Structure 1
Amino acid sequence: MIERNTPVYVRAIGTVFTKQILPALLVISSLLLVPIGQSIAQDISFFRIGTGSSSGTYYPIGTLIGSVISSPPGSRACEDGGSCGVPGLIVTGQTTRGSIANIEGVLGGSLETGLAQSDMVQAAYTGTGVYRLKKPAKDLRVIANLYPENIHLVVRRDAGITNISQLKGKRISLDLPGSGTRENAKLILSAYGIAPLEYQAIPVNADKAVGMMLNKELDAFFFVAGYPVTAVSELANTGIIDLLPINGKIAEKIVNDHSYYSLSEIPEGVYDGIAATPSLAVSTQWVVNANMEEDVVYDVTRALWHPKNRVLLDNGHLKGKHIRLETALDGIATPLHAGAEKYYRENGMIKN
């Protein structure tokens, strides 16, 4: 556990390193608006969650989880109506290129944890799919399954695209290398018989895609995220886009061939002026390196599922309502971290 009443030092999860005490105290105290005398009674830990672009879902969800599991020095105790996070833990969501970048960051040590699509997590662990030329990432572990995320295939209304086959010859953003979206887009286009040389691939993320769609520099873009997505909402509000359905026998075959996909639907009303749209979905998982201390992962897992944090999850983001203890183990094919497994065993969710 992260202890109170210990000398102050700056502690990165997995690595403890000493800084100059006075400057650290001054910075932390000024940021948290607590007296120095109060902060020196508590060990302080910093923890990064790799997310995605600021216009996607990973960033607000990662930031939300950070607020749930954080409990900075000077916070009111949980029993007094204050933070029910890990004492002394300060968590930040860090923008990245997405799933693959987060997995690499967790494995390489530049991130403590990250959010990633279930298909990318499993591919990394088994050394298959996009990771087929790499050794299986056997140090990758999961803390929890979080929520479903839908494949958004966004098209400009004036581009004359009403089905996937009409994407041939168009300018399409598959997102940046290092994103799970890019791999999903390539698989879908291939499944529908569209070869890489039959469209112009534009390597930009959703933030950049918004401006390019408005300027008619882009005809379509893929984005995998839990709805509502800021980038899609902004464009829908202008009335210039539609969502292209991903359905029929080809979509069903994708699901049959790849168990981490499921048939899904983006409901009417999520985006202004856009009807209910059939699509595919994967799940978001919270991943970590196996070498992170068991007690630290146990603490953050327990904090995430603390009953008093339910109100923060339910009101922090639409997808926060889907982050529930009863579905925390759904669709997980990669091993749990020992600290997370300990928590789920204690709560009767793992029987053997």
Structure 2
Amino acid sequence: MKKIFTKTAIAATVLAAATIGSIPTVASAAQKFVSIGTGGVTGVYYPTGGAICRLVNKTRKEHGYRCSAESTGGSVYNINTIRAGELEFGVAQSDWQFHSFNGTSKFKDAGPFKELRAMFSVHPEPFTVVVRTDSGINNFEDIKGKRVNIGNPGSGQRATMEVVMDAFGMKNSDFALASELKGSEMAAALCDNKIDVMIYTVGHPAAAIKEATTSCDVKLVNVTGAPIDKLVADNPFYRVATIPGGMYAGTDKDVTTFGVGATVVTSSNVPDDAAYAVAKETMSNIEQFRKLHPAFANLEPKTMVSDGLSAPLHPGAAKAYKELGLIK
């Protein structure tokens, strides 16, 4: 398994060596590294990876693993990079976990990723549409003819946007502009009047949406209708979702949409003790985890180890959950 050694980890190793006179200790010799692929720095995946790593690193002397969170292109990128052996763990939307394991949708050409393993689910992720208030857009179908950011290639939100567009019979050519900005670039583009619409499949509250709603006149709009009803009915990984009114400036009423869940995935090639450490430290410290981001506030371990998981549990994670009484 190829390990990813980050600059921070390398710097830490160099500093440690200098501090102890370049004499390796048993602990430093035994230390192993794992990385979690996340998403853009203004989304929720990045702080999710950071929160998990913070808990894992607190007890690294016990299990020997140092964890780092890597900012990446998102769900599809993370799954593909795990498959290539270049990441140990990754955060991914529940729908793309399903499609990867089964070799469907975006993963049809690559075929089923039968080595994909689930760790746990995290926060819900509503499909969120934010529009300029002067755009004349009041629902998803109104985005035709507008300047729309459809998401960066490799991200779960881009892939989900394409699913929704297909459900509504839309194509990129239906838009005045179909941009491919990353999550960290969308809010500025919206407020600079370079786009009319930004799409984000994300946990709430999200920094990118807070940035947009506090910087210019924008609002969230509903994503509803027969095409959405059919998506939810036909796919077990989708569900109706509500974004509470008042969470963001400019949107006082509840917004109805649909959504997925964020999940943490890995590969059967990742050692059992690594998966065990990540699973155990996260679940046994759930009170601390909940405090690390508002989107985690209502997480419950018993649902986290089952909801939205299409791939089998990694045996290392399953061992931890049995010890903690979360599964039989």
Hey, what does 1:250 align to over in structure 2? 227
Structure possessing the higher radius of gyration over alpha carbons: 1
Which residues in structure 2 correspond to 1:316-335 (within 5 Å)?
316-328=292-304, 329-335=306-312
Asked if 1 retains the 8 angstrom alpha-carbon contact of 2:187 and 2:198, the reply is no
1:341 aligns with 2:318: yes
What is the DSSP-based 3-state SS (H/G/I as helix, E as strand, rest coil) of the residue aligned with 1:303?
helix
| Unaligned segments of structure 2, at least 5 residues | 6-10
| CA deviation map 1:110-165 (0-9, x unaligned) | 21110000100110111101111221111111111112111111111111111222
Structure-1 residue corresponding to 2:8? none
| Partner residue in 2 for 1:285 | 263
Q: Give the 5 Å matches for 1:177-326.
A: 177-199=153-175, 200-275=177-252, 276-306=254-284, 309-326=285-302
- 2:228–2:258 contact (8 Å) kept in structure 1: yes
- Provide the secondary structure at the position in 2 that maps to 1:147: strand
The question of whether the paired residues in 1 share the 8 Å contact of 2:218 and 2:250 is answered with no
Could you say which residue in structure 2 is the equivalent of 1:48?
Answer: 35
In 1, Cα distance between equivalents of 2:255 and 2:56? 35
Say if 1:85 and 1:35 are closer, same or farther in 2 by CA, change over 3 A: closer
Moved more, 36-45 or 209-218: 36-45
Alpha carbons 2:4, 2:87 under 8 Å: kept = no
| TM score, norm. by length of structure 2 | 0.89
Distance between the aligned counterparts of 2:212 and 2:206, measured in 1? 10
Q: 1:45 is matched by which residue type in structure 2?
A: K
Change (3 A) 1:139 1:267: same
- Assess if the C-alpha contact under 8 Å between 1:26 and 1:36 holds in 2: no
Contact 1:155 1:241 in 2 (8 A): yes
* SS in structure 1 of the partner of residue 26 of structure 2: coil
Aligned residue pair count: 319
Q: Conserved in 1, the CA contact under 8 Å of 2:188 and 2:212?
A: no
> 1:92-120 CA distances to partner (integer Å, 9 max, x unpaired)?
21111100010011111221110000100
Which of 133, 138, 141 aligns to 1:157? It is 133
Could you tell me the percent identity over the aligned residues?
A: 29
**Secondary structure of 1:281's partner?**
strand
The TM-score normalised by the length of structure 1 is 0.84
Which runs of no fewer than 5 residues in structure 1 stay unpaired?
1-12, 18-22, 72-82
Q: Find the counterpart in structure 2 of residue 106 from structure 1.
A: 82
Residue in structure 1 matched with residue 144 of structure 2 by the alignment: 168
Q: For 2:103, give the aligned amino acid.
A: G
Change (3 A) 1:284 1:39: farther
Q: CA deviation at 1:39?
A: 7.4
**Are the counterparts in 2 of residues 86 and 300 from structure 1 also a CA contact under 8 Å?**
no
* CA distance 1:302–1:37, change in 2 (3 Å): farther
